[in-house]
Amino acid sequence: MSKKVLMQGNEACVRGALKAGMRLFAGYPITPSTEIAEGCAVQLPKLGGKFIQMEDELASMAAVIGASVAGVKAMTATSGPGFSLKQENLGYACEAEIPCVVVDVQRSGPSTGLPTSSSQGDVMQSRWGTHGDHPIIVLSPSSVSETYYLTIRAFNLAEKYMTPVILLLDEMIGHLRETIEIDDNVEIINRKQPDAPEGNYEAYKAEEDLVPVLPVFGSGHYYNITGLTHNTWGFPTNNRAIAGELNTRLMDKIEKNRSDIEQYEEYLTEDAELIIVAYGGSARVAEAAVDMLRDKGIKAGLYRPISIWPMPEARLKQLAAQAGKILVVEHNYGQYVHEVERVTRDSARVEFIGRINGAYILPDEVVKKAEAM
């Protein structure tokens, strides 16, 4: 069954999270993500869930981790400085393999910056914000409808791969209102539970899919949870062989499942001689620019990564070789463009258009830059 509703992007995030089974939200209000906290505060009690406004963003992330360890699907939402504050505990969740969803509705920065203005300045922080080499999945929607479905997908991926997943919105999408069609017939994935006898189970002994089956804490299986490098029982170790095996597996459980995780969309790329790369809110601008360029006789196409990390780079390499010219559009001073340059190397000329004053990039500006190429 499906129905059409008028909804804001942040509201769609709440709706998708509830559909996915989220039953705890812990957060701290911050523009432009506050509507997510407000929506969870209203809706969660109706479903037997819990909303907690914590004293700060560090505690919010800790509460989410605790709830998830106890078997509850949990989420937090933030922006800018709040996302920075969550990074230490986010790294803990990566190392301890605790599934959860972190929503970052990006705004202009650094520091307090322009709290009500759109930005895509957290792209690299979403990948490398916490210290050390760690796996992460980051999804970026470009419409209200996609926000709903990608929020569900974020929970599904978190539960399937036992990892934090970041939903990277920007203010443009978070505060946009659109009519969307909600389909209740969507797949919901819940984490696996062990079928081994109680008291003799190595929780972090992952099988062929590289993903551990971690018992809900208190269910009868005993294991240790720590942010330290640990053995298959969860206990800390300085053994370098064990440390190497663990940390390599953490990376490989994402890297070797790219075909399941990666997601992208193309628009008019079949004969494109110029590829515009854009994601999130910027992709809407880029799509309009592609239409305008086509009207001018310029064969432009759009490549939109939906999974920002891991970057769906195989198809981008093909498009770069086909077109030879790439224009990256993003609301920052240049972040994802460096990844595009890394992937395409010498096969395409890469140029960039961005902005850091809080104002939106307009399609006319993208067209002008493309024409100059």
pLDDT at position 207 is 81
216 is written with which tokens?
């809900």
CATH of the domain at 151: 3.40.50.970
Does residue 39 fall inside a structural domain? yes
50 occurs within a structural domain = yes
Inter-residue contact 188 to 159 (CB < 8 Å): no
Last residue of a domain, one of 183, 203, 233: 183
Residues 107 and 14 in one domain: yes
- Last residue of a domain, which of 166, 183, 200? 183
Which of 183, 218, 238 is the C-terminal boundary of a domain? 183
pLDDT value, residue 198: 78
CATH assignment of the domain containing 317: 3.40.50.920
Residues spanned by the domain of 316:
265-372
CB of 341 within 8 A of CB of 297?
no
CA–CA–CA angle 254, 255, 258 (5° rounding)? 85
3 has a pLDDT exceeding 90:
no
Rounded CA-CA distance 230/367 in Å is: 53
In a domain, 12, yes or no: yes
Q: What is the pTM of this model?
A: 0.97
172 occurs within a structural domain: yes
Angle at 70 between CA 65 and CA 72, to 5 degrees: 80
Q: Kindly provide the b/e burial profile for residues 271-295, where b requires at least 16 CB atoms within 10 angstroms of the residue's own CB.
A: ebebbbbbbbbbbbbbbbbbebbee
- Partners of residue 24 on adjacent β-strands: 50, 74
Segment 223-234 mean pLDDT: 95
Instruction: Tell me, yes or no, whether 204 lies in a domain.
Output: no
Structural domain contains residue 244: no
Checking if the pLDDT of 1 tops 90, the result is no
Q: Is 174 in the same domain as 297?
A: no
Backbone angles phi, psi at 157, to 5 degrees: -70, -40
Question: Which tens digit of pLDDT belongs to each residue from 318-354?
Answer: 999 999 999 999 999 999 999 999 999 989 999 999 9
Residue pLDDT, tens place only, 141-197: 999 999 999 999 999 999 999 999 999 999 999 999 999 999 889 999 999 999 888
The span from the CA of 114 to the CA of 132, in Å, is 30
In the predicted structure, residue 73 carries a pLDDT above the cut 80: yes
DSSP string across 312-336: -HHHHHHHHHHHSEEEEEESSSSSH
Residue 242 lies in a domain: no
Segment 255-271, tens digit of pLDDT: 999 999 999 999 999 99
77 assigned to some structural domain: yes
Are residue 157 and residue 300 in the same domain, yes or no?
A: no
Asked whether residue 36 falls in the same domain as residue 129, the answer is yes
Q: How many domains does the chain have?
A: 2
